[in-house]
Structure 1
Amino acid sequence: MRVIIQRVKSSQVQVNDRIIGKIGCGLNLLVGIAGTDTETEIDWMARKCLELRLFPDSAGDGGRWDKSVQDIGGELLVVSQFTLYGDCRKGRRPSFDRSAAPETAEKLYAKFVEKLRQSDLKVETGLFGAMMQVSIDNDGPVTLVLEREAG
């Protein structure tokens, strides 16, 4: 499982020119599910996303990151993105062989969102499998790649 975590001032996702998910201060999570992923990876990743200290103690001072999204009562926008498993090493077209099949990926993505919602934070989502436009007001900018392989 791969998640691109972005600390944001705001973020939103649109489908067919309609906003379907919108957050303020918090984390934008772009989520890729591998064919080998299980609930073990989902559990670990949800906990990690909620507990990572990515926010400074005092707003705007840019100091030490001592607070998690839970600590600040932040919000989460979760967007499925199978392209995170695109392999561009050979040829001119990415291979998505390591991405989970859509049926499997959608179930695991839903479980990931469900785990995040157990935090009682505001959690918004994109639309699985849809063409989406994601607007991200990255704060910092802070962007991290989080990965957990099955096994």
Structure 2
Amino acid sequence: MKNKGLAAVMLAISIMSAGQNVYAAELPYETPDEIAEEEYWDSLELLALCVEAEAGNQTLEGKRLVAAVVLNRVEDPDWPDDITAVITQKHQFTSWENGAIERVWEAADSSYMAVKLELEHRSRKDIYYFTAGGYGKYGTPLFQCGDHYFSGK
């Protein structure tokens, strides 16, 4: 993940908290394309953390399915059109609501692999919901994988 922008912001915050002034011209310059690329890689990092927080104890297949839910929502007009907005949408992902994503310091290699594989080839394009312990109140029940129950629209 590229962290030039984040590093610059953190540097500016630390300088300001030390009582010094910082000017925008002193921060690394980034083009809109560079900023967009950084935001894209940050969203993939967030997706891997979400997969880890939601399905860290599941198989690679189970992790892929969680990633697929997020990516399917991004592509569907009924949800926001970017990964970060889908994950952070109110009342959608327990790991975001309860702070579990923040407690995941680093996603396991298998969570990153799940994201990579889903980006290359979606395992299921018909799933939009998942819950643990039984089917949720939203969507049409489809199947169970590990501890999660997946549903379509």
TM-score range, shorter chain: under 0.3
Choose between structure 1 and 2: higher helix proportion: 2
Task: Tell me: higher relative CO, structure 1 or 2? Use CA pairs within 8 A at least 6 residues apart.
Answer: 1
What TM-score, normalized by structure 1, do the two folds share? 0.23
TM-score (ref. length: structure 2): 0.23
Compare CA radii of gyration and give the structure with the larger one: 2
Select the structure that is richer in strand.
1
